[in-house]
Amino acid sequence: MKHITFGANQQASVIAAGTMRIAGMDEKTADTFVRSALDAGVNFFDHADIYGGGKSEEVFGGLLQKDASLRKQMLIQSKCGIRSGYFDFSREHIIRSVDGSLKRLQTDYLDCLLLHRPDALMEPEEVQQAFETLHKAGKVLSFGVSNMNPMQMQLLKTGVTFPIAANQVQMSIAHTPMLDAAFNVNMSIAPAINRDGGVLEYCRMNDIAVQAWSPLQYGFFEGTFLGSEKYPELNRQLEALAEKYRMQKDTIAYAWLLRYPAKMQVITGTTNPDRLRSAARAADVTLTREEWYALYRAAGNKLP
């Protein structure tokens, strides 16, 4: 497993285990999920206070309570800021959300806290107050954002002195608007529309980890491109590379993301131990430049 230096100078696996779907798991199944991830070299677990209405964190916390040694083997990240019908980056809500996550997770601290989607009413100075309070109390070691563009991160930095450790954004072979605009500069076609202000480049320039969520999905939760009749050429290319590298198709799809030369992390959504192990193997694959571009084109993208 490859690692990146993350947050408070910690070593985080480039494959991270997303926990959104563990809310309904029984203890035995959840324990198998966590231990399978750790055995595969995955030490980073991504949570959010809204996953399962908090139940995902509760299930995970039950495992930590039963076996305290697990906590020392992992980095735990959670997110806050999404409320029913609106976003909330107020000092009070951030602090209250973290306290709730810590209680559900049955741990004393988070390795990282992300602000979950942008809040248009964000006051950077108020966010700083919340971060200072949490950091001084030892409740959060590092901070980041999700789904923010460069100007939103710049605005946040006018009041927040903590480095932005990560930006969690949607990215997959079949969801590439962050790449499309960069290929089609100064062209009057739809892919040339700059929808995010150069977020990938900004993260690279500022040493911010890019955490790719929905790495096997197309659209906004429309489904997986693996085996989809909407992506026949992409699946043919994935099958050919899977055979070449003696991996699974999903492994190649994750490897495609890791090949991008930013500080990359892939947030998996699977709870299947075999698929977790398959995902972890992506860290051992380095696609060639030709293979990377071939997969990009196979997804229906055209280069100018």
Which among 51, 202, 218, 296 is annotated as catalytic? 51
> What's the alpha-carbon Rg for the chain, to the nearest Å?
19
Q: Residue 241: which H helix or E strand, with range?
A: helix 232-245
**257 in helix, strand or coil?**
helix
Contact of 191 with 168, CB cutoff 8 Å: no
| Token digits of residue 255 | 């490897």
- What distances in angstroms separate CA 137 from CA 99, 132, 145, one per listed residue? 11, 8, 21
- What distances in angstroms separate CA 253 from CA 194, 242, 296, one per listed residue? 24, 9, 11
Question: Is 51 among the catalytic positions?
Answer: yes
* DSSP string covering 19-88: -TT-TT--HHHHHHHHHHHHHTT--EEE--TTGGGGHHHHHHHHHHHH-GGGGGG-EEEEEE-EETTEE-
Q: CA–CA separation, 172 vs 161, rounded Å?
A: 31
Contact of 114 with 146, CB cutoff 8 Å: yes
Q: Residue 273: which H helix or E strand, with range?
A: helix 273-280
Catalytic residues: 51
